[in-house]
């Protein structure tokens, strides 16, 4: 259960965005809609615990995120929140498997090769586990970045414009994978987008104006 | 996947700039290592060879030349001094021990030194095989001589006139090896010792005229052709120099002045001349040292630029690591570790290259008296390693602080 309560954020103290309260039930799948400039990225960064809002409170499973120490917040984020970015952004100097190992060890979880195989298997990427990021296509990289987001079985899976740089076919399949993976790992899913193609797949929508 | 491994992978992913940094650091360190080793060894050799000798008395000329010829056996002697006057000095109450030297001949480039048992006591020489020389033309050879000239106890050889070269051989008498000395780690390992009268007899005109010997006008060994008949008499005997040990420190001031003013000879202090010699070499050492430090400074800048640039490229990577749960201090550690790994590895390679380089220099050195050894390790090399660590930290600290301070929300929203 995630609670967003009277949160607002101001840039340069002159421009303030207010967000309406939001309650996200465990396991639900949400669409976060908004034009660019509407504060979508700001809200996503607040949700992922990398941007402290100027006012208001965010609780996730009874934990008030921004009352944690910076170090505890980093660790909480690593363990409980998985993020899929618009572009994959894997670490170039590491192989696919090493990228996933990194996600485990940075969250201070034991390295678990079985879990890595399992996730890569479910995303149909097991054949590429020893490849480097620059040897993969965009669609394949996005799959790996989904794998990285779910590797630690997060309670919240956030995707920021995951489909905007992909064609129709890839966009749909990425969306399917996100929904399938969040169900598989019992994660709550929030997808932020202005992509009209993905609208119909969701029942819950949080709209920014 | 420890921070160290992440740093290591990052270094490996840009082999060109990493190896440039490595080469710069290694090059600077190797020069410093060679300088450190060489100056320590030279200094060490200089002081070990003149350890117990307070003063050298010889013919007038350059004091440095006198020291070089009579202590280090490198340069030519300044000339000869009359034995009579030398003996008078040796009787002086200030003198505890006086050892005469008669130089002038060599065997395949190894100097033959005419001296007495005082020399053995002065350098604390011990016999490894055979016995000490007693009769004329009996010799003791240093351990290095035995090895390089393949001489053993009982062998005979002919000395040649001069300090190098073997064109002018004294065929009248053959020297005989009666003993081999234990290795001393100083100049005596490279000498052939015999008694003074052997050297005199070698050059005695009565003996020499037997073979066709064209006498050269040597300045280092006089044979007074006009006094053939008197040659065996002690009055006209000459030696090259006298090594002197004082009875008390008081003599340091008085005795050299007395020699220089009241006799036709000169006195030179090994300690003073060695210091002077070293200060002459020191100019070159200083220049090289600054050169090496300059290279190190360039290396620091290069590592810094490398890290700083790669940080710009990697800021997104580092931000992603933060979203994956890495703390600020972990990013700091990753960047700092990268700098330290580069410079530390460079320093290790540099120290290795320095030793290898010195060993190669030593291999091609002509004079065995001052041969440099690359296999000796010094404690002060620890400081070089520490310096390697320090410049790594120095070069990486600004990029690391930037990584620590970076605002990931800002970086991520810029994509």
Largest CA distance in chain B: 108
Cα distances (Å, whole numbers) of residue B347 to A2, B291, B343, B381:
53, 16, 6, 10
Residues 386-415 of B with CB under 8 A from A: 408-409, 412-413, 415
Domains located in chain A, CATH noted: 2-207 (3.40.50.300)
Q: What distance in Å separates the CA atoms of residue B363 and residue B367, rounded to the nearest whole number?
A: 10
Residues B214 and B172 in one domain: yes
Query: What is the per-residue pLDDT across A151-179, written as a single tens digit (0 to 9) for each?
Result: 999 999 999 888 877 788 888 888 888 89
Residues B188, B194, B200, B201, CA torsion sign: negative
Cβ–Cβ below 8 Å for B413 and A41: yes
> Is the Cβ–Cβ distance between B52 and B243 less than 8 Å?
no
Whether residue A185 has pLDDT greater than 90: no
Q: Which domain holds residue B130?
A: 55-268
Residues in chain B, pLDDT under 70: 205-235, 366-370, 415
Residues B233 and B286 in one domain: no
Residue B317 maps to a domain: yes
Q: Helix (H, G, I), strand (E, B), or coil: what is residue A41? A: helix
Residues B369 and B317 in one domain: yes
Mapped to the 3 state alphabet, what secondary structure does chain B carry? CCHHHHHHHHHHCCHHHHHHHHHHHHHHHHHHHHHHHHHHHHHHHHHHHCCCCCEEEEECCCHHHHHHHHCCCCCCCCCCEEHHHHHHHHCCCCEEEEEEEEEEEEECCEEEEEECHHHHHHCCCCEEEECCCCCCCEEEECHHHHHHCCCCCCCEECCEECCCCCCCECCCCCEEEEEEECCCCCHHHHEEEEEHHHHHHHCCHHHHCCCCCCCCCCCCCCCCHHHHHHCCCHHHCEECEEEEEECCCCHHHHHHHHHHHHCCEEEECHHHHHHHHHHHHHHHHHHHHHHHHHHHHHHHHHHHHHHHHHHHHHHHHHHHHHHCCCCHHHHHHHHHHHHHHHHHHHHHHHHHHHHHHHHHHHHHCCCHHHCCCCCCCCCCHHHHHHHHHHHHHHHHHHHHHHHHHCCHHHHHHCC
Query: What is the per-residue pLDDT across B112-171, written as a single tens digit (0 to 9) for each?
Result: 999 988 898 888 888 888 888 888 889 999 988 888 888 889 889 988 888 777 778 888
> Is the Cβ–Cβ distance between A84 and A146 less than 8 Å?
yes
Cβ–Cβ below 8 Å for A89 and B320: yes
Residue B169 maps to a domain: yes
Residues B200 and B254 in one domain: yes
Cβ–Cβ below 8 Å for B324 and A103: yes
Chain A residue with CA closest to B10: the answer is A93
Query: What is the per-residue pLDDT across B290-305, written as a single tens digit (0 to 9) for each?
Result: 888 888 888 888 888 8
Cβ–Cβ below 8 Å for B409 and A91: no
Write the DSSP string, A167-195: -HHHHHHHHHHHHHHHHHTT-EEEEEE--
Residues B203 and B258 in one domain: yes
The pLDDT, as a whole number, for residue B366 is 66
Shortest alpha-carbon distance between residue B318 and chain A (Å)? 9
Residues B153 and B30 in one domain: no
Helix axes B3-12, B15-49, angle to 10 degrees: 100
ipTM for this model: 0.87
Rounded to an integer, the average pLDDT of A78-105 is: 90
- What lies within 8 Å, CB to CB, of A196 at 6+ separation is none
Chain A residue numbers touching B321 (CB-CB < 8 A) = 91, 102, 106
The pLDDT, as a whole number, for residue B350 is 94
The pLDDT, as a whole number, for residue B72 is 86
* Count of Cβ atoms closer than 10 Å to residue B90 Cβ: 17
Domains held by chain B: number:
2
Residue B374 maps to a domain: yes
Whether residue A93 has pLDDT greater than 60: yes
Cα distances (Å, whole numbers) of residue A157 to A33, A83, A151, B25, B243:
16, 6, 11, 46, 90
Residue B274 maps to a domain: no
Residue B277 maps to a domain: no
> Is the Cβ–Cβ distance between B384 and B32 less than 8 Å?
yes
Residue B166 maps to a domain: yes
Shortest alpha-carbon distance between residue B49 and chain A (Å)? 58
In terms of Cα–Cα distance, which of B367, B396, B388 is closest to B144? B367
Residues 56-85 of A with CB under 8 A from B: 70-71, 74-75, 77-79, 81, 83, 85
Sequence-distant contacts of B223-231: CB under 8 A, at least 24 apart = B231/B200, B231/B204, B231/B205, B231/B206
Residues B260 and B334 in one domain: no
Chain B interface disruption, residue of A102, A134, A151, most B CBs within 10 A: A102
**B219 φ, ψ to 5°?**
-90, -10
Cβ–Cβ below 8 Å for A50 and B408: yes
Residue B10 maps to a domain: yes
The pLDDT, as a whole number, for residue B315 is 86
Residues B222 and B364 in one domain: no
> Is the Cβ–Cβ distance between A26 and A1 less than 8 Å?
yes
- What lies within 8 Å, CB to CB, of B78 at 6+ separation is B58, B59, B60, B61, B62, B65, B66, B69, B220, B241, B266
Rounded to an integer, the average pLDDT of A189-202 is: 83
Q: What distance in Å separates the CA atoms of residue A65 and residue B135, rounded to the nearest whole number?
A: 100
Residues B203 and B226 in one domain: yes
Q: What distance in Å separates the CA atoms of residue B95 and residue B247, rounded to the nearest whole number?
A: 5
> How big, in percent rounded to 5, are the helix, strand and coil portions of chain A?
40, 25, 35
Residues B93 and B148 in one domain: yes
> Is the Cβ–Cβ distance between B101 and B78 less than 8 Å?
no
In terms of Cα–Cα distance, which of B279, B254, B252 is closest to B55? B252
> Is the Cβ–Cβ distance between B129 and B179 less than 8 Å?
yes
Q: What distance in Å separates the CA atoms of residue B167 and residue A114, rounded to the nearest whole number?
A: 84
Shortest alpha-carbon distance between residue B317 and chain A (Å)? 6
Helix axes B15-49, B381-405, angle to 10 degrees: 150
Distance of CA B151 to the CA centre of its chain: 26
Q: Helix (H, G, I), strand (E, B), or coil: what is residue A162? A: coil
**B62 φ, ψ to 5°?**
-75, 125
Q: Among residues B213, B246, B268, which one ends one of the domains? A: B268
Residue B275 maps to a domain: no
> Is the Cβ–Cβ distance between A161 and B415 less than 8 Å?
no
Residues B84 and B225 in one domain: yes
Residues B36 and B67 in one domain: no
> Is the Cβ–Cβ distance between B143 and B182 less than 8 Å?
yes
In terms of Cα–Cα distance, which of B62, B36, B89 is closest to B245? B89
Residues B237, B242, B247, B253, CA torsion sign: positive
Cα distances (Å, whole numbers) of residue B64 to B70, B189, B287:
10, 22, 23
Q: Among residues B219, B244, B268, which one ends one of the domains? A: B268
Instruction: Report the DSSP beta bridge partners of residue B116.
Output: none
């Amino acid at each position: 259960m995630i609670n967003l309560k009277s949160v607002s954020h101001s840039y340069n103290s002159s421009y303030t965005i207010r967000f309406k309260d939001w309650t996200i039930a465990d396991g639900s799948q949400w669409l976060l809609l908004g034009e660019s400039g509407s504060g979508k990225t700001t809200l996503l960064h607040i949700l992922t615990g990398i941007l402290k809002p100027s006012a208001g409170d965010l609780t996730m499973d009874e934990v008030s995120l921004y009352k944690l120490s910076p170090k505890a917040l980093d660790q909480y984020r690593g363990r409980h929140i998985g993020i899929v970015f618009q572009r994959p952004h894997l670490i170039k100097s590491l192989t696919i498997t090493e990228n996933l190992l990194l996600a485990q060890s940075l969250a201070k979880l034991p390295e678990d090769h079985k879990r890595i195989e399992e996730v890569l298997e479910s995303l149909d990427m097991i054949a590429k586990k020893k490849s480097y990021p620059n040897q993969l296509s965009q669609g394949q990289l996005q799959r790996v970045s989904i794998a990285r987001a779910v590797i630690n079985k997060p309670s919240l899976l956030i995707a920021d414009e995951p489909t905007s740089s992909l064609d129709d076919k890839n966009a749909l399949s990425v969306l399917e994978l996100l929904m399938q993976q969040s169900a598989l790992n019992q994660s709550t899913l929030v997808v932020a987008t202005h992509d009209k193609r993905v609208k119909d797949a969701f029942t819950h929508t949080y709209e920014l104006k | 996947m420890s921070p160290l491994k992440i740093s290591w992978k990052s270094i490996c992913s840009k082999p060109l700039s990493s190896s440039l940094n490595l080469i710069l650091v290694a090059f600077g360190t190797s020069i410093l290592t060679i300088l450190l080793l060489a100056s320590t060894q030279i200094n060490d050799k200089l002081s070990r060879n003149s350890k117990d000798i307070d003063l050298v008395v010889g013919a007038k000329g350059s004091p440095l030349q006198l020291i070089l010829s009579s202590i280090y056996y490198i340069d030519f002697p300044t000339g000869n001094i009359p034995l009579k006057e030398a003996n008078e000095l040796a009787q002086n109450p200030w003198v505890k021990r006086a050892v005469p030297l008669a130089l002038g001949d060599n065997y395949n480039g190894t100097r033959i030194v005419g001296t007495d048992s005082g020399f053995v006591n002065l350098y604390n020489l011990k016999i490894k095989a055979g016995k000490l020389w007693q009769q004329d033309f009996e010799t003791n050879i240093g351990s290095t001589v035995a090895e390089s000239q393949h001489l053993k106890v009982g062998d005979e050889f002919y000395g040649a006139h001069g300090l190098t070269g073997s064109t002018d051989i004294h065929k009248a008498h053959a020297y005989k090896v009666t003993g081999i000395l234990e290795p001393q780690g100083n100049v005596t390992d490279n000498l052939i010792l015999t008694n003074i009268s052997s050297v005199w007899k070698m050059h005695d005109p009565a003996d020499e005229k037997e073979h066709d010997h064209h006498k050269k006008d040597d300045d280092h060994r006089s044979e007074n052709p006009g006094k053939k008949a008197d040659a065996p008499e002690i009055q006209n005997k000459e030696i090259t120099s006298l090594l002197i040990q004082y009875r008390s420190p008081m003599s340091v001031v008085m005795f050299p002045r007395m020699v220089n003013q009241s006799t036709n000879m000169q006195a030179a202090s090994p300690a003073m001349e060695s210091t002077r010699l070293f200060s002459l070499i020191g100019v070159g050492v200083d220049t090289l040292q600054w050169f090496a430090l300059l290279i190190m400074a360039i290396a620091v800048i290069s590592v810094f630029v490398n890290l700083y640039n790669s940080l710009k490229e990697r800021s997104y990577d580092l931000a992603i690591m933060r979203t994956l749960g890495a703390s600020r201090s972990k990013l700091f550690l990753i960047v700092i570790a990268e700098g330290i790994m580069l410079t530390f590895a460079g320093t290790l390679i540099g120290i290795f290259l320095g030793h290898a380089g010195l060993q190669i220099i030593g291999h091609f050195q002509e004079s065995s008296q001052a041969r440099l050894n690359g296999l000796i390790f010094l404690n002060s090399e620890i400081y070089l390693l520490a310096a390697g660590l320090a410049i790594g930290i120095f070069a990486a600290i600004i990029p690391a602080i930037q990584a620590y301070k970076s605002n990931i929300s800002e970086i991520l929203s810029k994509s």
